[in-house]
């Protein structure tokens, strides 16, 4: 079984993240996600809305909130809705799967057989494969963002543990696409460099992550993952499509 990789094993730079190390606190960093934030809602709206703006649009000036009241309302709204630790792994896994399923179902056979997803005009020749890939990226960057936004070491470790358990629930639901998205986020350089955070994980969480990391390994064209799917005799699942697209492209 693989073990948690050390930060020094990860490539420098971390892709979309740029870090400034501090002497005593691993949390002193500057994150750049090139416009990537919380997951978008199905209708394309941002998941973060400004309560005060909504109120002002629908209310007359006599009914509008004062600046102080608006600020207090927004603060209360953010605290209740966007505290990731208020939601259970089961709920996260269920909601992620509800968002992934219709996108996966929309993929047409010719999008795969034509390898349109690998062409310059992929947005027109394989739009649903592109949308499915976008769902992967949204989930992965959401995981990274929420861990890095935690304000203390203790909370950051709790959020990390939450996502490991969420990945396990996604695996139980046969949403292997989202399992890989979450695991990829946890494997990214910005997260693996948080050595103090990983050190606070329980043995159970570390063992769970190691099992998922082992299962989702790309070794031998994701042979372990494909064997796992066969051994489970799954009635249905949301697959990690890359494992199959690679075979189509190279075959």
Cβ neighbours for 150, distance < 8 A, ≥ 6 positions apart: 27, 156, 158, 159
Q: What is the 3-state secondary structure (H, E, C) of 44-100?
A: CCCCCCCHHHHHHHHCCCCCCCCHHHHHHHHHHHHHHHCCHHHCCHHHHHHHHHHHH
Q: How far is CA 194 from CA 198, 199, 226, in A?
A: 6, 9, 31
pLDDT digit string, tens, across residues 185-201: 999 999 999 999 999 99
Per-residue pLDDT of the chain (251 residues), as tens digits, is: 444 444 433 433 343 333 333 333 443 333 333 333 333 333 333 333 333 333 334 444 433 444 555 555 455 545 445 689 999 999 999 999 999 999 999 999 888 877 766 677 777 678 999 999 999 999 999 999 999 999 999 999 999 999 999 999 999 999 999 999 999 999 999 999 999 999 999 999 999 999 999 999 988 888 899 889 888 777 789 999 888 776 555 54
Token output for 187: 């494997």
At residue 18, φ and ψ (nearest 5 deg) are -125, 125
Angstrom distance (rounded) from CA 163 to CA 169 = 10
pLDDT at 203 (0 to 100)? 97
Other beta carbons within 10 angstroms of residue 108's beta carbon come to 13
pLDDT digit string, tens, across residues 126-183: 899 999 999 999 999 999 999 999 999 999 999 999 999 999 999 999 999 999 999 9
Give the residue from 104, 39, 106 showing the smallest Cα distance to 240. 104
Evaluated on CA atoms 116, 122, 126, 130, the torsion sign reads: positive
pLDDT at 249 (0 to 100)? 52
pLDDT at 103 (0 to 100)? 95
Counts for the chain of helices (H) and strands (E), in that order? 13, 0
pLDDT at 27 (0 to 100)? 38
């Amino acid at each position: 079984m693989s073990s948690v990789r050390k930060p020094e094993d990860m490539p420098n730079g971390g892709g979309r993240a740029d870090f400034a190390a501090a002497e005593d606190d691993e949390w002193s960093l500057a994150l750049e996600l090139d416009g990537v934030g919380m997951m978008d809602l199905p209708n394309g709206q941002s998941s973060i809305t400004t309560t005060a703006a909504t109120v002002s649009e629908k209310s007359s000036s006599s009914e509008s909130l004062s600046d102080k009241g608006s600020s207090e309302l927004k603060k209360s709204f953010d605290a209740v809705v966007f505290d990731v630790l208020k939601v259970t792994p089961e709920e996260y896994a269920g909601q992620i799967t509800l968002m992934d399923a219709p996108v996966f179902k929309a993929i047409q056979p010719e999008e795969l057989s034509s390898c349109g997803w690998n062409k310059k005009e992929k947005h027109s020749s394989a739009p649903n494969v592109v949308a499915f890939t976008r769902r992967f990226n949204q989930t992965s960057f959401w995981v990274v963002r929420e861990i890095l936004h935690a304000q203390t070491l203790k909370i950051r470790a709790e959020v990390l543990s939450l996502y490991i358990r969420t990945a396990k629930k996604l695996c139980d639901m046969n949403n292997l696409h989202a399992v890989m998205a979450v695991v990829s986020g946890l494997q990214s350089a910005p997260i693996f460099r948080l050595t103090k955070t990983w050190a606070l994980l329980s043995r159970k969480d570390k063992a769970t992550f190691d099992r998922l990391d082992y299962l989702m390994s790309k070794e031998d064209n994701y042979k372990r993952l494909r064997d796992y799917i066969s051994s489970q005799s799954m009635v249905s699942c949301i697959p990690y499509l890359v494992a199959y697209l690679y075979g189509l492209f190279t075959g």
